[in-house]
Every structure is written in structure tokens, then in C-alpha cells.
Amino acid sequence: MSRREELEANLASVRARIAAACAAAGRPADEVGLVVVTKYFPASDLRLLVDLGVTDVGENRHQEAEAKAAECADLDVRWHFIGALQSNKAAAVARYADVVESVDRSSLVDRLARGAGEGGRQVDVLLQVSLDPPGSEHRAGADPDQLAALAAALDLRPELELRGLMAVAPLGEDPAAAFARLSTIRAEFLADHPEATVLSAGMSGDLEAAIFAGATHVRVGTAVLGSRPGVQ
Ligand SMILES: *Cc1c(COP(=O)(O)O)cnc(C)c1O
């Protein structure tokens, strides 16, 4: 099987999973988008994916993402930055990312806005919310009670557009329980920010639970591309 055939088959099965999860949740199938997470995989895979109809890709490391975005500048694809964002990299990320999904503290906002402004760009932003129980060592994301202040900081920056929320289910917990909390957090957030309708949740192992809880796009790596090189 060629790499193209492999990716095509994997994409078909992920799309079938999304469609089945939408049906089970009583949601229209076109309500849930797919961001293919291409981290650790070469630009050649990205080209095949775009040729196979993929419109959105996700990357989580700035240096790798920046290089790939430059290498694939001719492709019509939206770049989602989904990784932990270092403050000193934020301006650079805003020069190529179309969506920054991992904004979790207000110190990032000015830097992202500066990078977007310098590039003459508008960048969509998702606030990453932590689903870890209070008191646990947070993996990533803002506490739910910090979201209002973050949204207010974004409001002041015309270069950045608040589109919604992103979350990762904590390790070692039933994702359905974590995403149920996310659904509540999102409902409260939407009451104050009705335009922020995006919910980015769900990965290869838990996309069904995320779609059940209202995800509007899932971020899938392994199930499309296979195990990441150099990762167990
Ligand atoms: C790597 C990654 C994914 C994709 O994970 P898979 O299990 O490979 O589908 C999704 N979201 C984030 C934030 C990631 O870092």
C-alpha cells in the first residue's frame, strides 16, 4: 500500500467514526470538523492529506510548525497551533497560525496580537480550559474561572478573534466524565460570549465522547497518520 492509500483509508475510517458519533448524538454529520494533527510527520504527508481533502492541520511545536508552514506555503490549508505556547514564541506563532487553540493566560494575548498585527493578519483564538480536578497538577489550560478575564483581554485586540474553547481530557480519567464538565463550562461561557461557538475536543482515542459533549471539531493524529516517529 502506498502512503497515499494508507492515509486515504485512515481518513475514511476516521470520517466514518465522526459520522457515526454524530448520528449517535443526534447531531448533523457536517457539524463536526476534522483537524489532522501532523506533528512529527513530514511535509510530504501534509501534501497528501490536503490532496485527499483535508482542510485543517494541527501542530504543537513552534519550530516544527513554522518550518512546515513555510515549506507548505503554497497549500490552501488552515494551520491550528495546538501546543503549549511559550510567551517568547507567541508573536512568531501568530505570523503563520490561522487558529491558536492553546491560549491559557493573558500574558500571551499582547504578544499574539503583536505578531498578528506585524504580519497584517487576523488570528482566530480558542481559550484552552483545564479539565483537571481542582488542586491537581495541571497539564495545560486555564482554570474555568479565568476564562472571563481572558476573553476580556482578547476583546481589546482587534487582531485576535475569540472563537471558542479547546480542551484535552486528563489522563487516567473517563473522557466522557471530563467532557461532561467541559460541556457545562462551555454552556456558561457561551451565555456571555454567544459568538464563541467553536469547541475543539477529542483526539484519536476519545473523539466519540467529545462529539457527544458538543465538540465542533476534533484533533486527530495517530488514527490518520499512524504512531508518531520517535514516540512509543
Ligand atoms: C497530539 C495531539 C492531538 C492528537 O492526538 P492523537 O491521539 O494522536 O490523535 C490532539 N490534541 C493535542 C493538543 C495534541 O497535542
Atom of ligand 1 nearest to the CA of 101: 13
**Which structural domain, as residue segments, surrounds residue 185?**
3-225
Task: Compute the distance from residue 82 Cα to the ligand 1 centre, in Å.
Answer: 8
Write out pLDDT tens, residues 168-214. 999 889 999 999 999 999 999 999 999 999 999 999 999 999 999 99
Task: Compute the distance from residue 156 Cα to the ligand 1 centre, in Å.
Answer: 30
CATH of the domain at 118: 3.20.20.10
Task: Compute the distance from residue 139 Cα to the ligand 1 centre, in Å.
Answer: 14
- Evaluate whether residue 231 is within a structural domain: no
- Evaluate whether residue 72 is within a structural domain: yes
- Evaluate whether residue 156 is within a structural domain: yes
Write out pLDDT tens, residues 92-139. 999 999 999 999 999 999 999 999 999 999 999 999 999 987 667 756
Total domains, the chain: 1
Please give the model's pTM, rounded to 2 decimal places.
Answer: 0.97
Task: Compute the distance from residue 180 Cα to the ligand 1 centre, in Å.
Answer: 19
Write out pLDDT tens, residues 69-87. 999 999 999 999 999 999 9
Other beta carbons within 10 angstroms of residue 61's beta carbon come to 16
- Evaluate whether residue 92 is within a structural domain: yes
- Evaluate whether residue 191 is within a structural domain: yes
- Evaluate whether residue 160 is within a structural domain: yes
- Evaluate whether residue 230 is within a structural domain: no
The alpha helices in the chain, defined as continuous H runs, are 3-25, 43-51, 62-71, 90-93, 107-118, 147-155, 175-192, 207-212, 222-225
For ligand 1, which residues put their CB under 6 angstroms from it?
Answer: 37, 39, 60, 82-83, 168, 203-205, 219-223
